[in-house]
Amino acid sequence: MAAASAVAPAAAMGGARLPAAGSAASCSLLIPPLPRRASSLLLASPSRLRDAQRFSSVKVKATSSSEESSSSIQSEELLADLKEKWDAVENKSTVLLYGGGALVAIWLSSVVVGAINSVPLLPKLMELVGLGYTGWFVYRYLLFKESRKELAEDIEALKKKIAGSGE
């Protein structure tokens, strides 16, 4: 009778009561067992497995040896280029000051984004604004051939302005 009186208030409030932990038989009635799946390895023939292993190892060996040599050459070229550019800089303290300022700005923006993210509904609103802007950008610059050319010209002009090789 006590069990029936405990179920009645829960049913009256709109919620169903789960069975007690001791009643395993009633729990098995609620959740049916999952069907068993045949493993794909059992269905594949042994010759197919050997071929797949052989081809995958050949592919890995071929790409790994060429990638190692090209990545080491690229990293050496990158380091040499960076060293050359750093030696060409006259005012190193200004570059370090700007770099430190950039790191502080990144940290500060991370803090602001974290604060905005903690406010309810504001992250979803920001997502909608971002999706709207993305849709506008695609329509304005990427959808038509003429606008893609205009975007490419704008990017090239910005590159020249940043690099300082303006005419």
What percentage of residues in the chain have a pLDDT greater than 90? 37
Which segment, 46-50, 75-79, 132-136, 158-162, is predicted with the most confidence on average? 132-136
pLDDT at position 137 is 95
Cβ-Cβ contacts under 8 Å for 76 (sequence gap 6 or more): none
Q: Is the per-residue pLDDT at 41 higher than 70?
A: no
Tens of pLDDT, residue by residue over 90-141, are: 898 999 999 999 999 999 999 998 998 898 888 899 999 999 999 999 999 9
Sign of torsion, CA 153 156 162 167? negative
Tokens 């020249």 correspond to 160
Residue 153 tokens read as: 């010209």
Q: Is the pTM of this model over 0.75?
A: no
Helix (H) or strand (E) holding 155: helix 145-163
Which amino acid is located at 89 in the chain? Answer: V
Flag the least confident range among 9-18, 46-55, 133-142.
9-18
What distances in angstroms separate CA 114 from CA 78, 102, 103, 108, one per listed residue? 35, 18, 17, 10
Residue 128 tokens read as: 């909608």
pLDDT at position 166 is 52
Higher pLDDT, 145 or 60: 145
Q: Is the per-residue pLDDT at 29 higher than 70?
A: no
What's the whole-number mean pLDDT along residues 71-79? 84
What's the whole-number mean pLDDT along residues 50-76? 61
Q: Note the maximum CA span of the chain.
A: 93
Cβ proximity of 156 and 163 under 8 Å: no
